[in-house]
Structure 1
Amino acid sequence: MASHRDVAIIGAGLSGLVLALSLHQQNIQSTVYELRPAPLDIGGAITVSPNALQIIDKLGIYESVLSEGYPAEAFHFRSQDDKPFDAYEIGSVEKYGYPGLRVYRRTVIKALLGKCAEKNIKIVFGKKFKQIISESETGVTWEFDDGTVGEADTLVGTDGIHSRVRSYLYPDIEPKFMNVMAIAATIKTSQVEMPEDYSLPVTIMSRTHGAYILAPNFSDGSELVIVKQRRIEEHDREGWKNILADKEGSVDFLRQGVEDFPEVVRQAVSAVTPDSVSIWPFYQVPKMERWTSIGGRVSILGDAAHAIPPSSGQGANQVFEDAYTYALVRGQCDRDSLASVLPKWQRGRQERIDRLIILAAQMNVRRLPESTQSEFCSEAVGTEDFNMEWLFKPDLDKMFQEWLAV
């Protein structure tokens, strides 16, 4: 039987590692269990905004992450004829204390792992969570796929969109496919003759063909990612396998209608090769009444609790907020009061998530062809609000205290 720990964390992705470090700051011991045999080295670049960068800073890895990323303060919009018409902030050192940062997910995970090692936080690889065996007033017992059993005071599932821990709370809930997937490819920025003073990252719109996103990666901007969204129906396992394997078909999709876009897009797409293509479908977890068991000993957070579409630019950022604020809860209350305190934490977090889901739907509408926009109108209520102070400059410690006071 596993040795006793205060918190068992299932999943060593962004949310699990941020949670472990945040708990350490609250003098709470944890062990992280990861199903893969080695640290995650997958996933493309993400945009980390000031609300998450302030947490990265609190955890002591800001400088190392900043040095590997591409700082930017706005995401720009251009029309099909390449005229600028809009922009929204993704960060501002002057206004929020931090820029927006384009950085590879693996870079952030590497920095988090290094800090965990420095703090002697235990991470166990090759341990696949299977199921909760029992939950009592004193702790949680669970089983791994290899038949071994673990025990802890509490268990937190940070195991992603297809969470096994979530099935303990909601056996029948499955992620909902949003009928949209993104196709992305990377090229060298030098393969494009970028016009002088051309602001990146940028979304270039077409009423007929949707939009292309061009975003730089690495601190010198030497890599450029091209992204286009595609309307698609749900598929079974075999169907998705075929779609993911069809790299040539993905390149063909990226090239559809490109002749109607500016030269910068035509050059970028012409440089794409099948081996640089990546595909990810957009899923969303149905809104759940609880992220925590009745007894408070089992919780979920991050994508396990609320997968936010990438079009909001906040999926990874909200993972940081979840983990950091959950740790604040654990630091401010004893384990026996979790059942009454954690629902207050969830309500506060849910308010921000709900607002972001609306923002994501609005962004999906902007980036899809006019012919398919009506399918998203029910979710994309209102107009976009690009005054992002509510999002980018939260006083998380004060916010947390306000949640608990309700």
Structure 2
Amino acid sequence: MSNSTPDVAIIGAGLGGLALALSLHAHNIPCTLYETRPAPSADASKQISYFTPNGDGGYLALAPNALRVLDRLGAYEGVRDGGFNYDEIHMQSARSMKLIGTVRSHAEGKEGYRSVRVGRGLVRRILLDKAEERGVKIVFGAKLVDLKETKDGVDLQFGDETLVTATLVVGADGMHSKVRDAVEPGATPRYSGQTGVGGPVSTKQLGELKDGLHMPCMLLGRGNSFAFMPCTNDGGTVSVFATMQIPDRSREEWATFMHDKVTLKKLLTDRHSEGTEWPPAVVKACREIDENQISAWPTYRLPPLGKYTSGGGRVVIIGDAAHGIPPHAGQGAGMAFEDAATLADKIAAGRDGGLEPLLAEWQGHRMERIKRVIDLTAQSGAARRASPTVFHQVIKEWLMAAYLWWNDGASGMDWLYGYDTKAL
């Protein structure tokens, strides 16, 4: 690669792509974001729809490691003030409502970041605003259809036949990435077997039934898990969702399923009705969800890739494009933010030459860390899976209680929450 500041093309203006663009801007490295979706309209730009099936809705958890990156981008305060701040999640038995244990969601002795449950659309809006303020170039309605790596750069072709050549291309284009084919051809995500279904309710709608809930909390049932996660700063709105085992479908069938609000509402109320294992708070929550705001999100996992950079060293993938992690440990966005911040630092360090070994170093470090996060996510996902009998469910609750007690709720998580991207 030539000894000049690279011109970076970022494919995808989601959370990871925006974080990378802002991180590069801090290093005075020019970049352009290319986003398939159209630009938000002037009237709708400040309006956040949290539960929409278009990939920009729903809620997400941001742990201290993610918030540390957002703080450096100047986006932390808006996210903190727009979501619910918490230090721990309580695990409860759906059978008895008794507390099984507590999972801490902060790092001991660090800056004091608390985890935040917040609307994904709000986080993206804040990052888009920061990008606009700083003059980051974003091309909306730009669907990538072809990518060719040469010895001098990367040629990109978009759906409107626009041709672009960049020194370096970063794919931040999500689980079903187009850019990934230039790094690991044929690598495709696989359905995990679990789908989340839920929506927002107010604490007023729950009434006195909320008093038995240690929110934010997850209730473990024999058939599935059910979560109550406050998601507004005052805690008045609660994101409630079930994680259920649902058969796989084609992408077209999933799209139909996710848009069928009547079926989604019936699925929730039928599985969590009176006379089932679920307590009144869950039954009430499922009844009270506004049908128009209900949403479903099948979770996918990407088989571990052998690399995140292409053979020629001019194409890199980050976030879900590189390691598609299910949401069970609340680290999907966090890993994308870490990828972005650390990659920007390496690109800046190699702007005067020698970028290839720096990318190799970045890749090795990120792959090692991602493996630990994937292992953690698998453990969390297993706790949400159905148990064949009540006996098996009781044993699972006992084992979880013992594990959380032994680790004092923290589960030795400083390696995750205390991570500092500047340490690489």
**TM-score under structure 2 normalisation?**
0.86
Say which SS state the counterpart of residue 160 (structure 2) adopts: coil
* Aligned residue in 1 for 2:379: 362
Shifted more, 6-15 versus 239-248: the winner is 239-248
Q: Report deviation, 1:269.
A: 1.7
* Aligned residue in 1 for 2:184: 170
Shifted more, 231-240 versus 29-38: the winner is 231-240
Map Cα deviations across residues 321-375 of structure 1 (whole Å, 9 max, x no partner).
000000011111236423322122111111221111111111111112212999x
Map Cα deviations across residues 111-167 of structure 1 (whole Å, 9 max, x no partner).
11111122111111111111113421x322111111110011111110001111111
Q: Report deviation, 1:33.
A: 0.8
1: CA distance, partners of 2:210 / 2:241: 19
Q: Report deviation, 1:93.
A: 8.5
Q: Are 1:187 and 2:187 matched, yes or no?
A: no
- AA matched with 1:11: G
* Aligned residue in 1 for 2:30: 29
2: CA distance, partners of 1:190 / 1:104: 20
Q: Report deviation, 1:248.
A: 2.7
1: CA distance, partners of 2:190 / 2:233: 35
Among 383, 389, 396, the alignment partner of 2:414 is 389
2: CA distance, partners of 1:245 / 1:118: 35
8 Å CA contact 1:52–1:321 kept in 2: the answer is: yes
- AA matched with 2:181: S
Q: Report deviation, 1:252.
A: 2.6
Map Cα deviations across residues 57-88 of structure 1 (whole Å, 9 max, x no partner).
11112112211111011111111211111111
8 Å CA contact 2:245–2:386 kept in 1: the answer is: no
* Aligned residue in 2 for 1:54: 68
Map Cα deviations across residues 20-66 of structure 1 (whole Å, 9 max, x no partner).
01111122111111111114962211111100111111111211221
* Aligned residue in 2 for 1:117: 132
* Aligned residue in 1 for 2:257: 243
Q: 1:241 to 1:66 in 2, by over 3 A?
A: closer
- AA matched with 2:11: I
Q: Report deviation, 1:5.
A: 6.7
Shifted more, 295-304 versus 125-134: the winner is 125-134
Q: 1:195 to 1:126 in 2, by over 3 A?
A: closer
* Aligned residue in 2 for 1:135: 150
8 Å CA contact 2:35–2:138 kept in 1: the answer is: yes
2: CA distance, partners of 1:111 / 1:239: 33
Instruction: Report sequence identity in percent.
Output: 36
- AA matched with 1:324: A
Map Cα deviations across residues 210-240 of structure 1 (whole Å, 9 max, x no partner).
2111111111122112111121232123432
Say which SS state the counterpart of residue 181 (structure 2) adopts: helix
Higher relative contact order (CA 8 A, sep 6+): 2
1: CA distance, partners of 2:37 / 2:259: 22
Among 93, 101, 108, the alignment partner of 2:116 is 101
Q: Are 1:147 and 2:184 matched, yes or no?
A: no
8 Å CA contact 1:290–1:343 kept in 2: the answer is: no
8 Å CA contact 2:66–2:338 kept in 1: the answer is: yes
Q: 1:195 to 1:245 in 2, by over 3 A?
A: closer
2: CA distance, partners of 1:355 / 1:92: 17
8 Å CA contact 1:30–1:121 kept in 2: the answer is: yes
1: CA distance, partners of 2:422 / 2:255: 44
* Aligned residue in 2 for 1:303: 320
Say which SS state the counterpart of residue 341 (structure 1) adopts: helix
* Aligned residue in 1 for 2:51: none
2: CA distance, partners of 1:241 / 1:161: 15
Report the RMSD for the aligned CA atoms in angstroms: 2.3
2: CA distance, partners of 1:185 / 1:274: 9
8 Å CA contact 1:92–1:100 kept in 2: the answer is: no
* Aligned residue in 2 for 1:7: 8
Among 237, 248, 255, the alignment partner of 1:234 is 248
- AA matched with 1:89: R
8 Å CA contact 1:90–1:99 kept in 2: the answer is: yes
Shifted more, 186-195 versus 17-26: the winner is 186-195
2: CA distance, partners of 1:15 / 1:242: 27
8 Å CA contact 2:184–2:307 kept in 1: the answer is: no
- AA matched with 2:281: V
2: CA distance, partners of 1:110 / 1:356: 27
Map Cα deviations across residues 289-320 of structure 1 (whole Å, 9 max, x no partner).
11111121111100000111011110111110
Q: Report deviation, 1:280.
A: 0.8
Which segments of 5 or more consecutive residues in structure 2 lack a partner in the other structure?
Answer: 49-55, 397-402
* Aligned residue in 1 for 2:53: none
Q: 1:268 to 1:161 in 2, by over 3 A?
A: same
Say which SS state the counterpart of residue 192 (structure 1) adopts: helix
1: CA distance, partners of 2:106 / 2:305: 30
1: CA distance, partners of 2:74 / 2:235: 25
Among 206, 209, 216, the alignment partner of 2:223 is 209
8 Å CA contact 2:107–2:418 kept in 1: the answer is: no
* Aligned residue in 2 for 1:380: none
1: CA distance, partners of 2:211 / 2:295: 29
- AA matched with 2:76: Y
Deviating beyond 4 angstroms after TM superposition, the runs of 4 or more aligned structure 1 residues are 92-96, 194-198
Among 287, 290, 300, the alignment partner of 1:270 is 287
1: CA distance, partners of 2:302 / 2:81: 34
2: CA distance, partners of 1:262 / 1:94: 37
